[in-house]
Amino acid sequence: MTTYHHTDIDGLSVFHREAGHPDAPAIVLLHGFPTSSHMFRHLIPALADRYRVIAPDHIGFGQSSAPSVNSFDYTFDRLTEVTTALLDRLGVHRHALYVQDYGAPIGLKIASRQPERVSAIVTQSGNAYMEGFTPFWEPLFAYATAPGPDTEPAVRALLTADATRWQYTHGVKDVSRISPDTWSHDQPLLDRPGNAEVQLALFRDYKNNLDAYPAFQQYFRDSQVPLLAVWGRNDEIFGPDGATAYRRDLPDAEIHLLDAGHFALEDQLDTVAGYTRGFLGRVLG
């Protein structure tokens, strides 16, 4: 059974979903934009018979606090600090990571700074190499480099209902397999007063994650952490070259390119869960 919790971290309410035996090996699921731990609602029970599964909502997303940009520093470093503090509060000091989209820089900052914490990594469109970037990112990087009236409209368009729906449906062979509950869940949260400014702040900060890529890649080389990539080959946000690039530093990485887009769990749940269970069973014992 999945349970739902709010934990106070530095005066912020951090929401997380949890399932599995508390003494089982832990896996932490870190979501991407524009969603929340809701994206893992079906994966959690698929793993919870063997693992303690923990899926938080980042600050500004889902059911976690969403303070204004004037009262919280919306950077990926700050989101990493909150996530680490939550795991410490929960007594989770050794765990596997499952990262997607925004969850990748957060999880990989944890891993590269405290490698003793991380037992294995599963990445689903969770980028750590320049090869993963597609033309989708051109307006985002233009805005991050020169925020202003000339660059902001293109990124504000990413906060609209049409853009949210596209994130779930592009690259999908059969769109009828994608529940509209996905984008109808995410969009009202994006539309909360003040949330556009939150997302714009994170858009501006995202380019700073690229400065951490050399540290991530050095961590991979030094640790040889077991890594599984389950990635939509049709993803127009983080392309499949971002998955295969992991083998540069982790030659034993297990990589599967699926006939899916950015949110592969929505139509490839059984495949992703099967690969994840097999991988974790082998590397965690």
Instruction: Give me the active site residues, please.
Output: 262
**Is the N-terminal amide bond of 45 cis, ω within 30° of 0?**
no
**DSSP letter assigned to residue 36:** -
The alpha-carbon radius of gyration of the chain (Å, integer) is 17
**CA 276 – CA 84 distance, rounded (Å):** 23
The DSSP annotation for 87-122 comes to: HHHTT--SEEEEE-TTHHHHHHHHHHH-GGGEEEEE
Other residues' Cβ atoms within 10 Å of the Cβ of residue 2:
15
Helix (H) or strand (E) segment spanning residue 39: none
**CA 120 – CA 117 distance, rounded (Å):** 9
Query: Which one-letter amino acid corresponds to residue 73?
Result: D
Q: What share of the chain is helix, strand, coil (3-state, %, to 5)?
A: 45, 15, 35
**CA 81 – CA 152 distance, rounded (Å):** 28
Q: Which residues make Cβ contacts (< 8 Å) with residue 70, sequence separation at least 6?
A: none
**CA 230 – CA 265 distance, rounded (Å):** 10
**CA 88 – CA 110 distance, rounded (Å):** 12
